[in-house]
Amino acid sequence: MTSQDCLDNSAAAVSEWYLTFLDQYIREYRLDFLQEGEFADADTLRGEQFLEYDRLIWKYFKPDVQEYASAGIYAAEALDGVVEPILVEMKDKFKADFPKSRYNPKLSSLLGEATTQPDRGSGGVSLHNFPPDIHLLGKDGDINSLKELIAPFKGKVVYMDIWATWCTPCMFEFTHHEPLDDFAKGKDIVLLYVSVDTDQRAAKWQKVVEEKHLTGYHLMVNIPLRDELIQQFGDGQNLALPTYLIFDKKGKLAVKGAKQPSHGKLLFEQLGEFLR
C-alpha cells in the first residue's frame, strides 16, 4: 500500500501503522525534507507544531481522510499522556470543522472542554500599551466583519497587510516597512496590519509589532473575521500569507493581491492611483 493510498482512501487510513505514516509523511517528508514549514518559531512546549500538521492535512489530504488524520494525531498525543495547550484549541477547531464526527466525544474526553477565554482587548487579546504611533483597533474583540474593520477609514486609502507571527515571508516584508511609512506620511493613506494569530500567540504578536515598530493600525482578528478573510481571500480553508489589499476612499476593495512593501516604487505607484 502506497502513501498515496492513504491520501485518497479513507479505508486505508484506518490501520495500525497509519500514525507512523502521518509522522513520516508530514514531519520527515513535508517539513524536514521539503522544508514546507511556515511556523519558524513554533513553541513545541505549547504544541504549536500541531498548527503545522493541521495546515498540511488540509492542504494535501483528501476530504474523506482529513477527519481521521486530524483526530488520530490529537488522540495519539493525548493517549501518550501529553496535552499541550494548543491541543485543546485544535480539538475545538476539529469540532467546528467536523461537527458530526463520531470522534468528538472521545477527543473531548481526552483533551478536556474548551478553556475559558482570557479578558479580550483589541482583536481578542489583553490591552497592551504601545507607542503613540501604533494604534490598536476594536474593543473586547468586537470587530466581527471586514465591513466593520474598514468603516472608520472612509475618506482614506487603506493598505491592509494580513499576516501572522509564524509567517516567515511576513517577517521579511516588515524589513521594508520604513520606506512605506515615509511614503504614507502626510497622505490620506492608512496602514492597517491585520494579524490572524490566535490569542495564545498574543505576546509574540505584541513583541513583533513593537520590535519592528510597525506604525499604523493593528488588529488581531477574532474567529468570525478570520473566517470571513479566509472565505473572501483564501480558498475557503486556508489563506496564503502575507496577503495585501487596497481599499479606496469609499471603503470598497480596489486591489486584491496588491504589491508588497518590498516592491517599493511599484507599490507606491499603485497606492498613488487611489489618492487622486
**237-254 pLDDT tens trace:** 778 899 999 999 999 999
pLDDT at 117: 39
What is the tens place of the pLDDT at every residue in 167-179? Answer: 888 999 999 999 9
Q: Can you list the alpha helix ranges (DSSP code H) found in the chain?
A: 3-8, 10-13, 18-22, 49-60, 63-79, 85-97, 104-111, 146-150, 168-174, 177-184, 202-211, 223-233, 265-272
pLDDT band at 80 (very low <50, low <70, confident <90, very high): low
Task: Please enumerate in sequence order all residues whose Cβ is within 8 A of that of 265, keeping only pairs 6 or more positions apart, or say none.
Answer: none
pLDDT at 119: 40
pLDDT band at 182 (very low <50, low <70, confident <90, very high): very high
pLDDT at 158: 98
Residue 154 in this model has a pLDDT that exceeds 90? yes
3-class DSSP state of 160: strand
For 255, the enclosing helix (H) or strand (E) is strand 253-256
User: Is the model more confident about 68 or about 153?
Assistant: 153
Q: Tell me the whole-structure pTM to 2 decimals.
A: 0.59
pLDDT mean over 176-186 = 96
pLDDT at 116: 37
What is the tens place of the pLDDT at every residue in 96-127? Answer: 888 888 888 888 888 875 443 334 444 445 55
Q: Which of 224, 227, 208, 273 is nearest to 246 (CA)?
A: 273
Distance (Å) of CA 4 to CA 9, 13, 56, 69, 73: 8, 11, 15, 14, 18
Q: How is the chain split into domains, by residue range?
A: 3-111, 122-272
pLDDT mean over 17-29 = 82
CB atoms within 10 A of CB 80: 8
User: Is the model more confident about 190 or about 14?
Assistant: 190
pLDDT at 38: 77
What is the tens place of the pLDDT at every residue in 41-74? Answer: 666 667 778 888 888 998 999 887 888 888 888 8
What is the tens place of the pLDDT at every residue in 207-239? Answer: 899 999 999 999 999 989 999 999 999 887 778
Across the chain, what does the average pLDDT equal?
84
pLDDT mean over 80-94 = 79
Domain 122-272 falls in which CATH fold? Answer: Glutaredoxin (3.40.30)
Q: Are 94 and 114 in contact, with CB atoms under 8 Å apart? A: no
Q: What percent of the chain has pLDDT above 70? A: 84
Strand arrangement, sheet containing 134-136: 134-136, 216-220, 189-195, 157-163, 243-247, 253-256
Q: Any idea what the Cα angle at residue 144 is, between residues 139 and 149, rounded to 5°?
A: 75
Residue 10 in this model has a pLDDT that exceeds 60? no
